[in-house]
Chain A
Amino acid sequence: MPYGVSMEHTTLPKDGSLTFDPSGVRHVVVAGPLGPEVEQLLADARSAGRDVTLLHTGTAGTAAVLDKLGTLLAEAQVGVRVYLAGDDGFVRATAAVAHAAGILDDELQTAVTASAARRVWCSHCRTVTEDVTTTVAPCAGCGRTLEVFHHFSRRHGAYLGFQADAEAPGELPEPEVAWP
């Protein structure tokens, strides 16, 4: 593995729509930001009379939401269900927090409801660049031109970026808008 990203963390999470899961006894909804998908889910959970906690970026920034989610899950008990909605970067980042807290796949639902922009992890300087919409983009840390790979690292909550002209120095592929 030349990239320093372990293969077992490269599963690309599935993004579907959010459905209220009545088998859970407590529900944590994380939205960045609130949208119709999430409103519907909240309505379903409330009409089922379930305990719902909502965290969203409307009142706090992404970093604060990630923090809060981490603290909340560290104290959570088995029986919780987590729902994540937002743009790609937000969903990846929150999913990384949830997995680190021990949430399993059948306790988690994700939906990319806004921009699909990716977070990209630079395999050279280990900086995460937010909001990448093109297949080739500069690293916010070291400035290298990175090609964005389909390998998603759960640990970093980001896609892998690798120097685009590593094979043939100077030959840079054309950037294409792939995740608007």
Chain B
Amino acid sequence: MAVTTIKVRVAEITELTPEIRAFDLVPLNGTPLPPFSPGSHVVVHVPGEDRVRKNPYSLASSPWEQDRYRIAVRRIDEGRGGSVGMHERVRWGDVIEIEPPHNLFAPDRAATRHVLVAGGIGVTPFVAYAHALARDGVPFELHYAFRGPEHAALLDDLAAASPGALSTYVDDDGTAVLAGLRERLAGQPLGTHLSVCGPAPMMDAVLGLARELGWPESRLHLERFALDEAPRLPFSVRLASTDEVIEVPAELTLLEALEDRGIEIPYLCRQGICGECRTPIVDGTPDHRDIFLPAEEHGSALMPCVSRCARGPLVLDL
């Protein structure tokens, strides 16, 4: 399946913090961009030295603004190069390709109130949330923690979209935001849902606090970005149907290596969350790095967008 992409022009690049840049993307010839629901992301085809990286970024603008998308990208030097490519290669005025918005983190429609909790760059989807909830008249409060005042990205956008609803915390390890949340989470009316987006330890701590205060699972929502920090080693896979052997170098994902050979696997998130790229295996032991695949399937499939090889030979049922 060939993915349809949209060509957009980089109309503005804003230095939000020492690590985070916002990119405003506008349509090329005035054709409106597709509308999206809050929580949506776009996969950006990031130009690189030798290849294009496809990285998902949350849309951090108002959902009914169809003449501009905003994404905010934190530079991660030890990452796989997508964010570095955005920071180093993408210039003002460039034309880049993005895939149409897709939502894996939509607000619960039955909720009559929202508590939103963000850590660092995890705040991006909540810009669109704030716009949409404010427009629909659904009350919400947004708690936003960052490491220091110089790391507070998108504060103006958030304050404009959520007057009176924003609380900020300068926080290195989650202590301040947890202390502030304890009282808030103990006093929410029925109908309230909690959504959390941020670093994994922070999300775990916030969800743990909510559970302690009696919140049931159906009211808890989280956006994971499975930033996988484990070192990557090169490995190879074999395709069962053709016996073709494909090398996966350390700097590529298995999904990218397959795509380079012209093998198209469907995907949505490219971060091991959505389940779209599930690929059956016939032999070998994968190094599962996704958060989607249930343990019962660990011997029979893998998510090539993040997972690698623990013990070979790894043979894919392709």
Tell me if B218 and A76 are in contact (CB < 8 A).
Answer: no
**Which of the residues A26, A73, A76, A107 comes within 8 Å of B216, measured between beta carbons?**
A107
Tell me whether A101 is interfacial, beta carbon within 8 Å.
Answer: yes
B213 surroundings in chain A (CB, below 8 A): 25, 78-79
Instruction: Please report the total number of B residues contacting A with Cβ < 8 Å.
Output: 17
Instruction: Please report the total number of A residues contacting B with Cβ < 8 Å.
Output: 18
- How far does the alpha carbon of A81 sit from the alpha carbon of B185 in the complex, in Å? 16
Tell me whether A103 is interfacial, beta carbon within 8 Å.
Answer: yes
- How far does the alpha carbon of A176 sit from the alpha carbon of B191 in the complex, in Å? 41
Nearest chain A CB to B107 CB, angstrom units: 15
Nearest chain B CB to A156 CB, angstrom units: 19
Which residue among A26, A78, A81 has the maximum number of chain B CB atoms within 10 Å of its CB?
A: A78
B227 surroundings in chain A (CB, below 8 A): none
Tell me if A78 and B218 are in contact (CB < 8 A).
Answer: no
Tell me if A106 and B214 are in contact (CB < 8 A).
Answer: no
Tell me if B190 and A24 are in contact (CB < 8 A).
Answer: no
Q: A78-B219, A106-B216 are in contact. Are A23 and B190 (CB under 8 A)?
A: no
B186 surroundings in chain A (CB, below 8 A): 77, 79
- How far does the alpha carbon of A167 sit from the alpha carbon of B35 in the complex, in Å? 47
- How far does the alpha carbon of A45 sit from the alpha carbon of B276 in the complex, in Å? 44
Nearest chain A CB to B214 CB, angstrom units: 3
Chain B: which residue is nearest A24 at the CB level?
B214
23 contacting pairs across A/B (C-beta < 8 A): A23-B211, A23-B216, A24-B214, A25-B214, A26-B214, A77-B186, A78-B188, A78-B189, A78-B192, A78-B214, A78-B219, A79-B186, A79-B214, A79-B215, A80-B214, A101-B191, A102-B112, A102-B191, A103-B190, A106-B217, A106-B218, A107-B216, A107-B218
A interface residues, Cβ below 8 angstroms from B: 23-26, 73, 76-81, 101-107
Given contacts A78-B213, A79-B215, 14 further A-B contacts (CB under 8 A): A23-B216, A73-B190, A76-B190, A77-B188, A77-B190, A78-B185, A78-B189, A80-B190, A80-B214, A81-B214, A102-B190, A104-B219, A106-B216, A107-B218
B interface residues, Cβ below 8 angstroms from A: 112, 185-192, 211, 213-219
